[in-house]
Amino acid sequence: MDVVQITKSVFQITLPIVNVFLVDHPIGLILIDSGPKGSKDLIFQGIRQIGKQPEDLKYVILTHAHHDHSGGLASILKSVQVAVYTSAFCAEMIAKGIAFQPKSKILAFLLRLVTLNGKLNLQFLYIQPVKVNIKIVAEGDCIPDANGLEVINAPGHCAEQIALFYPVKEALLFAADAAENETQLKPAFAYQSKRVNQLTLQKLAAFPFQIAVFGHGKAATKAEFEKMADFKA
């Protein structure tokens, strides 16, 4: 686990398979995504490394329901009382403990066979359900207030995904899994639709950010993001 300071108030916690982010907002500490199951202690360690305590955490935002982004939520909620913000579709999924919802009917059928109609609890398919403290957000909403992070619908990688724009001095785009930057900056795998994901990337590129961060990989500049998204202003 590493903690990387992105800006004065934003930190990336690099977990073994995913990044989560801390935003030191004036109203309270915000965690973006919760990592996979078992991530709580590492996240709390990261919080302490930036000079805060887990009790300072006031908000959690889930960008989407995939297990590496939502699997740690239930454990975190057992330790601290926080409000959880996410899209309506994601809220529906995590309430049922579903981490992955295939678009293809054929894939859905095959997964039912592999899991014996849901009896075999594979980590990438299921999480511990979370039904409390959920607040639904939609395009244009701001978390936790007008000076917070703006919600952007960002489908393509998956239907329920949201990205976030933080319009501070060093403006940031939290691109979630619309793209990744592990070995090179590129569109992430589009479970829902490659075409829809490309439209999302161009939509995100139009926001006036300076730095983009991702669920997987290192940060990128706006120019790098625009080039990857094939964006033309």
CATH of domain 2-229: 3.60.15.10
Distances in Å between the Cα of 187 and the Cα atoms of 47, 157, 165, 182, 214 are: 29, 9, 18, 11, 11
Output Rg (C-alpha) for the chain, integer angstroms. Answer: 17
pLDDT at position 20:
98
**Cα–Cα dist 119/114, whole Å:** 9
**Cα–Cα dist 117/11, whole Å:** 40
DSSP per position, the chain: -EEEE-SSSEEEEE-SS-EEEEEEETTEEEEE---STT-HHHHHHHHHHTT--GGGEEEEE-S---HHHHTTHHHHHHHS--EEEE-HHHHHHHHTTB----S-HHHHHHHHHHTTTTTS--TTTB-----SSEEE--TT-EESSTTSEEEEE--SS-TT-EEEEE-STT-EEE-TTSEEBSSS-EEPP-SS-HHHHHHHHHHHHTS--SEEE-SSB--EEHHHHHHHHT---
User: Looking only at Cα atoms, what is the longest distance across the chain?
Assistant: 51
Q: In what order do the strands lie in the sheet with 2-5?
A: 2-5, 10-14, 19-25, 28-32, 57-61, 83-86, 134-136
pLDDT at position 109:
44
pLDDT at position 126:
84
How do the domains of the chain map onto residue ranges?
2-229
Residue 190 has which token pair?
Answer: 């589009």
**Cα–Cα dist 33/31, whole Å:** 6
Q: Identify the sign of the CA torsion 74, 174, 170, 85.
A: negative
pLDDT at position 167:
96
Residue 14 has which token pair?
Answer: 């690099």
Q: What is the dihedral of CA 86, 215, 158, 105, to 10 degrees?
A: -120
pLDDT at position 158:
94
pTM of the model: 0.92
> Shortest CA distance to 72 belongs to which of 7, 147, 116, 15?
15
Interval 52-89: pLDDT, tens: 999 999 999 999 999 999 999 999 999 999 999 999 99
pLDDT in tens, the chain (233 residues): 999 999 999 999 999 999 999 999 999 999 999 999 999 999 999 999 999 999 999 999 999 999 999 999 999 999 999 999 999 999 999 999 988 776 655 455 454 555 445 555 556 578 999 998 899 999 999 999 988 999 999 999 999 999 999 999 999 999 999 999 999 999 998 888 999 999 999 999 999 999 999 999 999 999 999 999 987 65
